[in-house]
Structure 1
Amino acid sequence: MKRPTPLLATLAALGLTFGAASYTAPAAAREYVSVTVTDRPPPPRFERMPPPRVGYVWAPGYWNWYGGRYVWVGGRWAAQRPGYVYHPPVWHPYGRGWRVERETWVRDPHWHH
């Protein structure tokens, strides 16, 4: 069996290094469907927030549009994301109707590793 020449080994190593350095992971696909509703959402329901849980943030309940009507989605604990702030869903007037801004995590400008 022949041993690879040093030039061939060097070229292979450079190719692997370049390939690894230029790799970018595929972006996570996010599906978002925007719905505009003519009826104003009902007022939020009162929910008693449970005692705090380490590593979680409370995501309060909200009205969601489902099946042609508003449906209450109860609050829940969401795993905390270091460096981000949770923003719950909010309904905003939009033209002659209402549009929901879905829950999201926004980078915290005051966070440092």
Structure 2
Amino acid sequence: MKTLAVALSIGAASLLSVGALTVPTAAQAQAVITIQGPPPAPRYERVPPPRRGYVWSPGHYEWRGGRHVWVRGVYVRARPGYAYRAPEWRENNGRWEYNRGRWDRDGDGVPNRHDRRPNNPNRY
């Protein structure tokens, strides 16, 4: 019985150490959330009056805990020289992908270090 307890504790410790190595950090790329069904229709939301120096980020559904959860719209502080891309769901080969809100410098929809290149291969 004692050897079983020791074996289980060693196994649990090794699993925890592997999990500690794979914790995402802020420097890593965003994970793409992909699901099979589409999100529900967006809710109607009254947009408050414009605020100087801010951009409206509309309400949207996020995937949390295995279900869609509505996130209310908010004002986000504007960044001069950047365009704000609102969060969105896109269908891709019968699956739905969630793209978080992001800032883009050149308007091609790809926020990256190559934004000043005129012939960006990632344009759409």
TM-score of the two chains, using structure 2 as the length reference: 0.61
**Superposition deviation, residue 89 in structure 1:** 0.9
Cα distance between partner residues in 2 of 1:31 and 1:107: 18
Highest relative contact order (Cα 8 Å, sep 6+), 1 or 2? 1
Structure whose alpha-carbon radius of gyration is higher: 1
From 79, 82, 93, the equivalent of 2:80 is: 82
Give the RMSD, CA atoms, in angstroms. 1.6
**Equivalences for residues 93-108 of structure 1 within 5 A:** 93-108=91-106
| Identical-pair percentage | 48
TM-score of the two chains, using structure 1 as the length reference: 0.67
Runs ≥4 in structure 1, deviation > 6 angstroms?
A: none
Give the 3 Å change call, closer, same or farther, for CA 99–30 of structure 1 in structure 2: same
Q: Deviations over 1:14-72 (max 9, x none)?
A: xxxxxxxxxxxxxx725411111011111111111001111101100001000000000
**Equivalences for residues 1-113 of structure 1 within 5 A:** 29-108=27-106
Cα distance between partner residues in 2 of 1:92 and 1:81: 25
Aligned to 1:17: none
Contact 1:36-1:94 within 8 A present in 2 as well: no
**Aligned residue identity for 1:62:** H
**Superposition deviation, residue 96 in structure 1:** 2.7
